[in-house]
Amino acid sequence: MTSYAKISQVAHYAPKQIVHNADLAAMMDTSDEWIASRTGIRQRHIVQDQQTSDLATKVAARLLEKSQLPAEAIDFIIVATITPDSSMPSTAAKVQAAIGAHKAFAYDLSAACSGFVFALATAEKLLASGHYQKGIVIGAEVLSKTVDWADRTTAVLFGDGAGGVLLEASMQPHFLAESLHTDGSRGRSLTSGGQGLHSPFSAKEENDLYLKMDGRAIFEFAIRDVTKSIGQFIRDSQLTTDDIDLFLMHQANYRILDKMAQKLGVPLEKFPANMMEYGNTSAASIPILLSECVEAGKIQLDGSQTILMTGFGGGLTWGSLILKI
């Protein structure tokens, strides 16, 4: 029997502490006007004492509560993150333990701001295999620990948060098409979390832990390459932009959304945005947006809408899914 996957529940969580642009202007040479006009960002949520697994666990617990499922019903947990608590155990393994999902296997997936889209595409294959019935996919980040707070060119852009979905096996197809890409040759334009060689047998390297970004190169990559890829993907899927009800894009910068919408010839109203409140939360940005759209009644989760989801960022990676949701 053919099996498919569908998103049956959504949830998100953001740390309570809010850092406004004015708070950053008191710490570094920047201003609310510069940040808001260049990026659309007005504030971001920043952890005080929580780790990525704490945020992801809140989301997983909310998903179980909303769907009234016992934790034992979950077959797998994937956490997309570039800011795991540690290399091992994985963030997903910590979530598995915290919610008591004893039957679930769990692992992290690292694809930066495309992480949630890549993880969702992977999870769909697990459910389509017919071996599993229910899985949780979460995007969770604590980017505040990888940002260099002395570098105004990146510190103002990022925030912390988590969002996720419960996926269930379905008799009807809901994942209509996918298009996933990586260009590792351009990876140097966005880096973080470097781990230098530190053994008596190796030449020592400097650690490169902080997030570093060639902002202009990433901006152009998003506007030119990612937008072209979305247009081609829609055509390859024998659809037009009119067939797409909502475009859920990675929330990096409002100007990027605006230019994408213009280039694709789509009204900006079809591009919901929340980077004003959260900043760029990398792998968490799309699931937080999805969850907020459901809360606001823009998405009903009744299979009546067609949405396009696109992540893009470090790797470089970019990827889109078209979903009946």
Report, in Å, the least distance between residue 163 CB and ligand ACO.
Answer: 16
CA-nearest of 277, 285, 9 to 140 is 285
List C-alpha distances in Å: 217 to 42, 46, 114, 286.
23, 26, 17, 22
> Buried (b) or exposed (e) across 80-118, using 16+ Cβ within 10 A?
bbbbbbeeeebbbbbbbebbebeebbbebbbbbbbbbbb
| For ligand ACO, the closer CB: 76 or 247 | 247
Point out which span in 44-52, 149-157, 160-168, 171-179 binds ligand ACO (CB under 6 A). Answer: 149-157
| Polymer length in residues for the chain | 325
State which of residues 219, 231, 303, 306 lies at the interface with ligand ACO (CB under 6 A).
219
Residue 288 touching ligand ACO (CB under 6 A) = no
Residue span 53-92 as binding mask against ligand ACO, x where in contact by CB under 6 A, dash where not: ----------------------------------------
Question: Residue 321 belongs to what H/E stretch?
Answer: strand 317-324
- 281 lines the binding site for ligand ACO (CB under 6 A): no
C-beta separation of 145 from 23 below 8 A:
no
The catalytic site residues sit at: 113, 250, 280
The CA-CA-CA angle for residues 285, 288, 294, to 5°, reads: 140
Contacts of residue 147, defined as CB under 8 A and 6 or more positions apart, other chains included, come to 154, 155, 158, 210, 211
Distance CA 39, CA 286 (A): 17
The reply on whether position 280 binds ligand ACO by CB under 6 A is: yes
Q: With binding defined as CB under 6 A, does residue 39 bind ligand ACO? A: yes
**Does residue 190 touch ligand ACO according to CB under 6 A?**
yes
Which helix (H) or strand (E) covers residue 136, if one does? strand 134-142
Q: Which is nearer to ligand ACO, 132 or 312 (CB)?
A: 312
Window 289-318: contact mask with ligand ACO (x via CB under 6 A): ------------------------xx----
Size of the site for ligand ACO (CB under 6 A): 23
* Of residues 101-120, those binding ligand ACO (CB under 6 A): 112-113
Say how many Å lie between the first and final Cα of the chain, rounded: 22
Question: Does 283 sit near ligand ACO (CB under 6 A)?
Answer: no
Per CB under 6 A, residues contacting ligand ACO are: 30, 34-35, 38-39, 112-113, 152-153, 156, 190, 215-216, 218-219, 222, 252-253, 256, 280, 282, 313-314
